[in-house]
A and B are shown apart, each in its own frame.
Chain A
Amino acid sequence: QSLLTQPPSASGTPGQRVIISCSGSSSNIGSNTANWYQQVPGAAPKLLIYTDNQRPSGVPDRFSGSKSGTSASLAISGLHSDDEADYYCATWDASLNGPVFGGGTKLTV
């Protein structure tokens, strides 16, 4: 059982907007910055969003992150078929004294 809770699945049709949630607590998301990773089948995870809402170079602005209280969200607008992947939220957890990942959300387009 992860310290960060994500819905196991999400879905949308091409062009739609999808939001994936990540629920934590005061010892993790509530007091630290959140990150998101995208993992397409058979590949390594890729950093998608860092420090709550920053995009690394090369990540399209269709991807955006936000945080409020003890929850973080990843929004994907203008869905593409190649957005089909697993998405993981992550942050620092004080009780672990290290980074923790959510259980992952499988996005179907």
Chain B
Amino acid sequence: QVQLRESGPGLVKPSETLSLTCTVSRGSISSHYWSWIRQPPGKGLEWIGYVYYSGTSNYNPSLESRVTISLDTPKNQFSLKLSYVTAADTAVYYCASADYYDSGDYHLLYFQHWGQGTLVTVSS
């Protein structure tokens, strides 16, 4: 089955850009919706956004002005960039693959495979 692994700095300074990469193995990036989800310490899950292999992307409106998710198809990777970070962006960041279907009447989306997660702390 698809395996995902996050990588990137564990410490980012306030006002700088958080950059993470997710490497996909045992599966092709030319399918599914590739997503980022985060979880602040002791809190619940928050969807950040996703990108489809066609280039279509969708972001959480609360983060949209600061987020970019992009694909690197030859490397079977996708990445997250979150700019102008503050302490409120401290969280475990998960990458995940999603299955998504839009019938026009309803949306079906679930996160089938998850990476192990990586803690990113925003601090000077």
Chain B residues lying within 8 Å of A97, measured Cβ to Cβ, are 58, 61
Main secondary structure of the interface of B (DSSP, over half): strand
Given the interface pairs A96-B61, A97-B58, A99-B47, the reply to whether A44 lies near B94 with Cβ below 8 Å is: yes
User: Which of A35, A44, A98 lies in contact with B58, CB distance below 8 A?
Assistant: A98
Cβ of B107 to closest chain A Cβ, rounded Å: 4
Whether the Cβ atoms of B111 and A33 lie closer than 8 Å is no
Whether the Cβ atoms of A44 and B45 lie closer than 8 Å is no
Question: Which of B's residues lie within 8 Å of A, judged by CB?
Answer: 44-47, 49-50, 58-61, 94, 98-99, 105-112, 114-117
Question: 16 extra interchain contacts, Cβ-Cβ under 8 A, other than A2-B44, A92-B109, A102-B44?
Answer: A32-B106, A32-B107, A45-B45, A45-B111, A46-B114, A47-B110, A50-B99, A50-B110, A50-B112, A51-B108, A51-B110, A90-B110, A90-B111, A99-B111, A100-B47, A101-B44
Question: Which of A's residues lie within 8 Å of B, judged by CB?
Answer: 2, 31-33, 35, 37, 43-47, 50-51, 56, 88, 90, 92, 96-104
Whether the Cβ atoms of B44 and A88 lie closer than 8 Å is yes
Chain A residues lying within 8 Å of B46, measured Cβ to Cβ, are 101
Cβ of A90 to closest chain B Cβ, rounded Å: 7
Given the interface pairs A2-B44, A44-B116, A45-B114, the reply to whether A99 lies near B94 with Cβ below 8 Å is: no
Given the interface pairs A45-B94, A104-B44, A104-B45, the reply to whether A96 lies near B108 with Cβ below 8 Å is: no
Sample (20) of A-B pairs whose CB atoms are under 8 Å apart: A32-B108, A33-B107, A33-B110, A44-B94, A45-B111, A46-B114, A50-B99, A50-B110, A50-B112, A51-B108, A56-B112, A88-B44, A90-B45, A90-B110, A92-B108, A98-B61, A99-B111, A101-B44, A101-B46, A103-B44
A46 to B117, CA, bound (A): 12
Chain B residues lying within 8 Å of A96, measured Cβ to Cβ, are 60-61
Chain B residues lying within 8 Å of A50, measured Cβ to Cβ, are 99, 110, 112
Of A37, A43, A44, A92, the most chain B CB neighbours within 10 A belong to A44
A43 to B111, CA, bound (A): 15
